[in-house]
Structure 1
Amino acid sequence: MKGRNHGNFTNPCLTMHQPWASLLVHGIKRIEGRSWPAPIRGRLWIHAASKVPDEETIKAMEEFYREIYAVNGITNLKFPQHYPVSRLIGCVEVVGCLRREELAAWDKMPEGVRLEALTDFCWLCERPQRLIIPFEMRGYQGVYNLQKKIYDAAVRGLSAIECPFPVKFPLPDTRDPFSLKPGSLDFCHSESKVVELDESSSLRSAIAGARAAATQFSKKDQNTIEKQGKSYLIRTNELEASPFKEVETSASSSDRISAANSPTLDNNEQTQSSLINGSSSGGEPFKIEQRRRPIVSSKLFAAAVRGLKPS
């Protein structure tokens, strides 16, 4: 992966709330929604935040994916049996990023995938892999580098996932991993076939339920963060002519891409950056709440997976 990413990323990781984190790692969730464009391409590690999901949230999100998969004739979805928290749980490959309206109008994509276009920016994810032994660790806001000792242990314990409906996102330029980006698709919005829903359909109800589930991560700290006047630069030299562009997000001035050398926030200060992603959004990294359970050290973890055959 080194050399494919733009920015100071070696083993990029993203902290997300459950159940969205496990749904992504298990290949059910194919679009990671954000209020800012994806700064990387290639492997992205997924870390589950400390908040334990309630049964209603899990039920709403499982129903959402059950309905959008049914649009493409998939009716036998198998959801994760557990939704672990405060754990590194696996990884996906980020192959592109599009705006919501672009993905929704992309006729090369199955209808079910296009129905996941519910946020400003849609990160396109393929090739999910889960960790056989989820690794307990701290998470941060935005995209941050995974510690090398954690990466060295975790990479040996990955297991490929058999996706219920594998999707391949074609690159406009196969030589450029950043070619699938906002504005890269040649289409006329007025002539594009955007998915239309029957107002009385169970599909619309499922989408409404998924939106409602995400509202529990309210932007309660939006005013406080905005008063601080903090803004961060997101590298988007593939999107604009200038090498850097300041991107405003729905939760604050913007999300910081790297969490290195930054103070932590309490759990009560976590905010949500998008509608159907379960991720945290804010200007600073947050400290994942450590629960009272045995902590697996990196040495013990490495020893546990040493005998496992890499995927």
Structure 2
Amino acid sequence: MCRGERESRDLLGMMERSRSSGNYKNPCLTMHQPWASLLVQGIKRIEGRSWPAPIRGRLWIHAASKVPEPDTIKAMEDFYREIYAVNGITDLKFPEHYPISRLLANLENLILDTGCVEVVGCVTREEVVCWEEVPEGVRLEGQTDFCWLCEQPQKLIVPFEMRGHQGVYNLERKIHEAAVRGLCPVTAPLPVKFPLPDPQDPLSLKPGSLASRPDGSKASEMEKPPSLSAAIAGAQVVAAQFSKKKSGQSITIEEDMPVSTRTRNKSKEKGM
């Protein structure tokens, strides 16, 4: 089997696992800071993963308990400052602080203290780089195998107690009901509306959907000034600290897989 055939087979396999890991009613994703707040504040528009997005629609964002290092915050703020400057935005306002989860007394509950976004699609990095319909800065955000496309950020005013997990998981019903009442819209510095390949199909933004467009157009990668290249390299370095123990890399959190996929694998190991 040639390399191209293997890559196509692997991509189809990941897409199938993603589709089969559904049954999400109120999906939530735990992310490290500063990425969690950058996403909810509308600064970050693409959530990078090594696996396709298993959901469309509202995705709740939960901040993990790890305190971000000052160098990590600086590297990510430099990254977004540079890619927004590509589109002429030079007065980017970052969060004053990056809240994290915390243990409560002797309980193992964490705090949902960020908010939510709308996942409108998922495409590959190669597709984002060539996507002329979105701002150049957005194309530069695509630094991972799969890019979850996020719109309509909303922040949570009052934190809620909850337990965090890896992968995408469902919020408990009571937490979800309370969280919905505490949402506040966010004014993003450069709101992006990701165009659907098929306006009649809200699920048409998926891996391969842009590469197979009828016009077959492609855009070459833009030339980057030294400051932009340095900012991208710095962001990749700090992101790697959460994935260096795993195969592959993520720009936001250490590698994981959809919850139901892990559950199936554990069941196989136990002979269930």
- Coarse TM-score class (shorter-chain normalised): 0.7 to 0.9
Provide Cα deviations, 1:77-135, integer angstroms capped at 9, x if missing partner.
Answer: 11011111113210000001000000110111110000011100000000000001232
1:49 corresponds to which residue? 64
Q: 1:172, 1:184 within 8 Å by CA — same for their partners in 2?
A: yes
1:107 corresponds to which residue? 132
Of 10-19 and 83-92, more deviation after overlay is shown by: 83-92
SS in 2 for 1:33: strand
Aligned length: 229
Report the TM-score, using the length of structure 1 for normalisation. Answer: 0.69
1:282 corresponds to 2:256: yes
Q: How does 1:109-188 map to 2 (within 5 A)?
A: 109-185=134-210, 186-187=212-213
Q: 1:115, 1:195 within 8 Å by CA — same for their partners in 2?
A: no
- In structure 2, C-alpha distance between the alignment counterparts of 1:158 and 1:174, rounded to whole Å: 28
SS in 1 for 2:158: strand
- In structure 1, C-alpha distance between the alignment counterparts of 2:258 and 2:209, rounded to whole Å: 31
Report the TM-score, using the length of structure 2 for normalisation. Answer: 0.79
Q: How does 1:260-299 map to 2 (within 5 A)?
A: 273-274=249-250, 276=251, 278-282=252-256
The 4+ residue runs of structure 1 with deviation greater than 4 A are 187-191
Identity of aligned residues (%): 68
Per-residue deviation, 1:191: 5.6
Residue ranges of structure 2 left out of the alignment (5+ in a row): 1-19, 102-110, 260-272
RMSD between aligned alpha carbons? 2.1
Provide Cα deviations, 1:41-73, integer angstroms capped at 9, x if missing partner.
Answer: 000000011100011100000000000000000
Which amino acid is the alignment partner of residue 124 of structure 2?
A: R
- In structure 1, C-alpha distance between the alignment counterparts of 2:208 and 2:151, rounded to whole Å: 21
Which amino acid is the alignment partner of residue 91 of structure 2?
A: N
Q: 1:197, 1:204 within 8 Å by CA — same for their partners in 2?
A: no
Whose helix fraction is larger, Structure 1's or Structure 2's?
A: 2
Q: 2:243, 2:255 within 8 Å by CA — same for their partners in 1?
A: no
1:207 corresponds to 2:222: no
Which amino acid is the alignment partner of residue 81 of structure 1?
A: E
Residue ranges of structure 1 left out of the alignment (5+ in a row): 223-249, 252-272, 286-311
Q: 1:13, 1:45 within 8 Å by CA — same for their partners in 2?
A: yes
